[in-house]
Chains A and B, each alone.
Chain A
Amino acid sequence: MGETNKVLLLKKALERQKKARFQAERILEEKSKQLYDVTRHLQSVNDRLEHILNEKASELDGVFINIIDPYVIMDLEFNVINMNASAKEFLGFDHTIEPLNLSQLVHNDYMEYTAKSIATLLEVGTLKNYRAKIIVGDGTEKFVEVNSSLIYDKERNPIAAQGIIRDITQETETKELLAQQNKELDIIVENSPLGIVLTDQGIIIKTNPRFVQMLGFEEGELIGRHVQEISAPGDIGNSVELIKKMNSGELDNFSIVKNYLRKNGSELMAKTSVNAFKNRQGQVEYQVAMVEDITEQRNLELQKEKLLKELEASNKGLKEYAHIVSHDLKSPLRSISALATWLGEDHEEVLNEDGLNNLQMMQEKIEAMDTLIDGILKYSSIDLASLENNIIDLNEIVNEIREVIFVPDHVRIVILNPLPEICADRTRIYQLFQNIISNAVNHIEADEGLVKISSSESPTHWHFRIEDNGIGIPKEYHDKIFKVFQSLDNQKHSSGIGLSIVQKIVDLYEGEIMLESEVGKGTVFNFTLKKS
């Protein structure tokens, strides 16, 4: 083979290569053109999309401006993406100046509730009536109600949330205040010792536990019943009449004592005060009744009345009894005394000296017994009911006593300071002074007897002092002498009742009596009488 073949072969190879390169260039050119077209297309689509987006965004801005309530869009981490002017003003923040995370605003007490609410929002897509306390920009607390919904992307993935906020601070505060007042009122009503009933046209619509318990019902049993059903038959007419007057506006309230019927049929006496509760038109809407159980009180009153009557009767009986007894005891004494006198007169010659002496002693005993009977009568007639209080001058009383009782020549009764005028029963005060003064005068053995009377006063009581220089009273008898029938000597004029009368009168005038005495030196009676 020669050189020529080699050149031919090479020439042909070169030809093939040229051809292939040209083809490749053609394909590349075509593909570039295609790529350029696609790019152009995409660009125009993009432009269109951008335009649409801009349109939507400006539409949304318009909506934003038009929402009066605060409106907020946040991402799912609670960061504010956008909010309207109202929201900025209400929350006191501007997210365009500084980023705002809404979770920072929620009050601590509402954190848990908020977390739950957000979970609901994420799960359901909407959240209605979320209510919470938040702290706004100026630090004040606000109550808000939020209605919110999620915002999704093309693949339906949540990417944000939007919500409208309503300020319910005032509403909530009012509600809370009302609830608080209601609660306080409930405490009062529930714990009231009075039964409380609310009625509408006589139908019971509410009661407190005390009322239910008073009547022996179970809770709730009385609701819906008419008041007449629990009123004693005899008492209905009166209250019906009063309710009528109340409904016609003649009466705003009234108070009556009426009998209620218990569940078991027994009756309960209660003081009932009824007040009308009127609506704005002035019509009676409800009646509120306060019911106070006075059964026991009334029973006590009745018992007291009965006891008083009995006491009065027995007092009167006692007085009459005392008079009858004294009459029946005194009559025979007079007869015996007359007979003894006649015996002495008519048979003087047959009776020797001893006989006449015995008759004389008999007369003395009769006299002592007569004094005793008088004393008992006087003592038993001293009681409060018989007091007739008048202004009396004690100086005059003492002067009268001085003249009436027997005062031996060697005894003087002196008033040391002018005695007061007091308001009291003359007879009793006379008895009081007379008994003490007689007692003093009768027990003086000194050559110069002296009975000194003086007085002073405290804001509530008169104080009196009657002092003698008589024989005195041994200490062991100081308490005894005020007891009835307790006499220390056997003088014929001493019945042992005088100082008991003194004690009783001092008691009647709510005073006290005290004794100072030393045997051989004298006795001082100190006593007080309450000023009236």
Chain B
Amino acid sequence: MNILFIEDDQIEGMKLQRTVSNLGMRHTIKIAQNGEEALELLQDPHALPDLILLDLNMPRMNGIEFLSRIKNNEAQKYLPTVILTTSMNREDLLECYRIGIAGYVIKPLKYEDYETKLQRVLEYWEVNELVKP
């Protein structure tokens, strides 16, 4: 799968990369530091990712704003977007589901737990049929 990972923390990027390689998965990961950067990467309708992993707390354009933007875009609105965030905030959770998400995953403290969770998310989306242009 082509995965777009939107996250401002560099170590989070390393965690995802390491997880994918540790598990022997063959996914391509592109990282955007914030919502604005991610939108630029989505400009080409023929080079859309299969899955977006989205952090909520980011500088410039936060996760919820980014989510609203792509859900209002004809070409981008079918992109499955899974929220990957640190803190459980009920208001954020409700808002995200209202706008439209494909999952809401809390980053666990321990890296081992992180690997387990991410493995499940990626495997799940691997077997899903996706809307292609």
Contact = CB atoms under 8 A, between A and B. Distances in A.
Nearest to A366: B109
Contact of A333 (B12, B57, B89, B109): B109
Interface stretch (A202-210, A323-331, A396-404, A464-472): A323-331
Contacts of A334: 11-12, 86, 107-109, 114
Interface stretch (A24-32, A81-89, A337-345, A451-459): A337-345
Nearest to B22: A345
Nearest to A331: B86
Interface string A313-325: 0000000000110
Contact of A323 (B11, B12, B89, B111): B89
Nearest to A386: B90
A337 B9 contact: no
Contact of B11 (A339, A363, A367): A339
Given A327-B57, A331-B9, A341 B86 contact: no
Interface residues of A, number: 20
A335 B109 contact: no
A484 to B, nearest CB: 20
Nearest to A325: B87
A328 B9 CA distance: 11
Contacts of B12: 334-335
A293 interface: no
B89 to A, nearest CB: 5
A298 B67 CA distance: 46
A323 B109 contact: no
B111 A337 contact: yes
A337 B109 contact: yes
B112 to A, nearest CB: 7
Contacts of B108: 334
Most buried by B among A323, A338, A339: A338
A338 B87 contact: no
A370 interface: yes
B110 A323 contact: no
A132 interface: no
B87 A323 contact: yes
B11 A338 contact: yes
Nearest to A370: B109
A337 B112 CA distance: 10
Given A338-B111, A342-B18, A367-B109, A330 B11 contact: no
B15 interface: yes
Interface string B8-28: 010110110010000000000
Contacts of B114: 334, 338
Contacts of B87: 323, 326-327, 330, 377
A318 to B, nearest CB: 14
A408 to B, nearest CB: 22
A507 B111 CA distance: 39
B111 A341 contact: yes
Contacts of B14: 338
Interface in B11-62: 11-12, 14-15, 18, 57
A323 B87 CA distance: 7
A286 to B, nearest CB: 61
A335 B14 CA distance: 10
Contact of B110 (A330, A331, A341, A377): A341
Interface in B60-117: 85-87, 89, 107-112, 114
B109 A342 contact: no
A366 B110 CA distance: 9
Contacts of B89: 323
Nearest to B10: A335
A153 to B, nearest CB: 117
A216 B99 CA distance: 62
Given A327-B87, A330-B86, A330-B87, A335 B110 contact: no
A470 B11 CA distance: 43
A363 B15 CA distance: 17
B7 to A, nearest CB: 10
Contacts of A330: 86-87, 109
A342 B12 CA distance: 13
Contacts of A377: 87
Nearest to A330: B86
A339 B12 CA distance: 10
In the A-B complex, the 9 residue pairs with the closest CB atoms: A335-B11, A341-B111, A338-B111, A327-B87, A330-B86, A370-B109, A331-B86, A323-B89, A327-B86
Interface of A: 323-324, 326-328, 330-331, 333-335, 337-339, 341-342, 363, 366-367, 370, 377
15 contacts: A326-B87, A327-B86, A330-B87, A330-B109, A331-B57, A331-B86, A334-B11, A334-B12, A334-B108, A335-B11, A338-B15, A339-B11, A341-B110, A367-B110, A377-B87
Given A335-B12, A337-B109, 6 more contacts: A323-B87, A330-B86, A330-B109, A331-B9, A334-B114, A342-B18
